[in-house]
Amino acid sequence: MKKYLAELLKALAEKNQAMQTALTKSAGAGTTPDEETEKEIEQLEAEISAIEKNVARVKKQVAEIEKAEKSATPVQGQDPEQATQSADPSAHQPAQVKSNLPKGIGFALAVKANALAHKERLNTVEVLKSWNAPQEVINFAKVKANIGTTTGADFASALVDQQNLTNEFVELLRPATIIGQLSGFRNVPFNVKIPTQTGSTSVQWVGESKAKPTTDMKFSNITLSKSKLAGIVLLSDELLRFSNPAADALVRDDLVKTISQFIDSQFLDPNKKEADESPASILNGVDAIKSTGVTAEAYKNDLLSCIQKYTESNQGSDGTYWLMSETRAATMSMLRDALGNTYFLGMSFGSGQKTLLGLPVVTSQTVGEKIALIKPSEILLADDGGVDFAISNEATITNGDQQINLFQNNLNAIRAERYIRWKPVRQAVAWIDYTTASTTN
């Protein structure tokens, strides 16, 4: 086939040369082609067109042949079984069963079964089997029930299922948190000393034979010790007893919502100080910029003050984000100038990435009455990516000034725990306080 293609290309080149010769006659005389030359040109055009079509066809076939040569599997014909296996590698491979559960549902199903088993003094695995739960969820429950046991025949596979279901849940949890929506954090392990530079070197112009400046670079160490956050979700007895996708999704969503809200509140609460068992908020110790109002002009002035405050620590704008509540973002998107034009372009209400002054905006109702400008690359983050849970139905839960007796109200408390800690390397944020602005403007 390649030889035939070469012959066609050679013929095409000859016809094109003949066409150029015919046209050169007329061009040399400065006239249009005479009748005999015109017939010759028309004949050549027809022949060239036919050859080009055949060249395209042959090139396509040559490409298909080369593709087949690369992807074809040589058949090993030592015996019929070998030949069949070579032609179809999947012919003798066992079928693999994959779960079609939506992400996070398996984790929620295991949590719910564990809670029901705890209440009714049942075995979690038996509860899941009665619900016809997928095997991976049952394996997850087995690991929870036999923690530290490595002698079982299915121990390894059960651990894999536990890790998979936990990872799926965390994949849902991370985007629901402010931390999960920001990118650029310096990810570090727990309990490891991280060297940080606290003093800069000195650089100057010097003349020939003059003394060069010397400065000792100053360093310190930051250690992110393990800290564990815990959130409690209350579920009714009726919800636990139902095994259907809607109930399972509700449990999953409640777990995600509870954990994410707590992480966000701790991350942005300016009054949250560092303790041995928990990190300080990134806003703690950072003086707030008092808002001048909630008009378009006031927002503009406040944002400028925030940027100026932020850059005082020699921070650049690359990799920075604005944080604000969804309500404030919606309010700013509706501000108009005297001509009816949108005042803050990029703040359109609805889905999609919002931008403010060219920087991305992350929204969460947990942000509350503030706007923050944050640079994640100046924050160390230790996160083991795991979530654990415990069950109780006989305790009394304190929620602010309210006390809830679980037994009396037919409720079950699921405590979800996650290991995570953060710490700024240097000032990584500036923020505006709108606590009084919303009521006085």
Predicted local distance difference test score (pLDDT) of residue 81: 61
Predicted local distance difference test score (pLDDT) of residue 159: 43
| Mean pLDDT computed over 243-250 | 65
Determine what percent of the chain is predicted with pLDDT higher than 70: 73
Predicted local distance difference test score (pLDDT) of residue 98: 57
Give the pLDDT band of residue 186 (cuts 50, 70, 90). confident
Is the distance from CB of 425 to CB of 186 less than 8 angstroms? yes
From the DSSP assignment, how many helices (H) and strands (E) are in the chain?
A: 13, 15
Predicted local distance difference test score (pLDDT) of residue 149: 37
Amino acid letter, residue 294: V
| Mean pLDDT computed over 93-120 | 69
CA 108 to each of CA 111, 174, 243, 372, 420: distance values in angstroms, whole numbers, following the listed order: 5, 16, 11, 34, 21
Q: Is the pTM of this model over 0.75?
A: no
Please give the Cα distance from 222 to 196 (Å, whole number): 7
HSE at residue 402, side-chain half, CA atoms within 13 A, is: 3
Please give the Cα distance from 147 to 156 (Å, whole number): 12
CA 55 to each of CA 9, 50, 51, 89: distance values in angstroms, whole numbers, following the listed order: 7, 9, 6, 37
Give CB contacts under 8 A, 24+ apart, made by 11-14.
Answer: 11/51, 12/48, 12/51, 12/52, 12/55
Is the distance from CB of 221 to CB of 188 less than 8 angstroms? no
Is the distance from CB of 250 to CB of 243 less than 8 angstroms? no
Predicted local distance difference test score (pLDDT) of residue 351: 64
DSSP H stretches of helix in 242-379: 245-268, 296-311, 326-333
Predicted local distance difference test score (pLDDT) of residue 150: 35
Predicted local distance difference test score (pLDDT) of residue 196: 60
For the stretch 109-128, pLDDT in tens is 777 787 777 777 778 888 88
Q: Across the strands, what pairs with 233?
A: 414
In the predicted model, is pLDDT for residue 89 greater than 60?
no
Sign of CA dihedral 329, 334, 337, 339: positive
369: CB partners within 8 A, 6+ apart? 325, 433, 434, 435, 437, 438
Q: Which CATH class is domain 220-440?
A: alpha beta
For the stretch 351-402, pLDDT in tens is 678 999 999 999 988 899 999 999 999 998 888 766 777 777 777 877 667 7
Q: Give residue for tokens 């008092």.
A: 290
Burial class for 20, CB neighbours closer than 10 Å (0-12, 13-18, 19+): exposed
Higher-pLDDT residue of 282, 112: 282
HSE at residue 369, side-chain half, CA atoms within 13 A, is: 13
The Cβ of residue 102 has, within 10 Å, a number of other Cβ atoms equal to 14
Predicted local distance difference test score (pLDDT) of residue 324: 93
| Mean pLDDT computed over 22-47 | 79
Q: Give residue for tokens 């809670």.
A: 115
In the predicted model, is pLDDT for residue 92 greater than 60?
no
Is the distance from CB of 324 to CB of 344 less than 8 angstroms? no
Lowest mean pLDDT among 22-36, 51-65, 230-244, 364-378: 230-244
Domain parsing of the chain, residue ranges: 1-60, 220-440
Predicted local distance difference test score (pLDDT) of residue 75: 53
CA 242 to each of CA 121, 126, 239, 344: distance values in angstroms, whole numbers, following the listed order: 17, 15, 6, 48
| Mean pLDDT computed over 323-330 | 92
CA 174 to each of CA 44, 178, 296, 383, 419: distance values in angstroms, whole numbers, following the listed order: 69, 8, 33, 11, 13
In the predicted model, is pLDDT for residue 292 greater than 90?
yes
3-state secondary structure 142-159: HHHHCCCCCCCCCHHHHH
The 3-state DSSP class for residue 121 equals coil
In the predicted model, is pLDDT for residue 347 greater than 80?
yes
Lowest mean pLDDT among 28-42, 317-331, 372-386: 28-42
Predicted local distance difference test score (pLDDT) of residue 356: 93
In the predicted model, is pLDDT for residue 321 greater than 90?
yes
Lowest mean pLDDT among 50-64, 141-155, 184-198, 308-322: 141-155
Tokens of 38: 């015109």
Give the pLDDT band of residue 35 (cuts 50, 70, 90). confident
Please give the Cα distance from 408 to 329 (Å, whole number): 42
In the predicted model, is pLDDT for residue 143 greater than 80?
no
Is the distance from CB of 360 to CB of 184 less than 8 angstroms? no
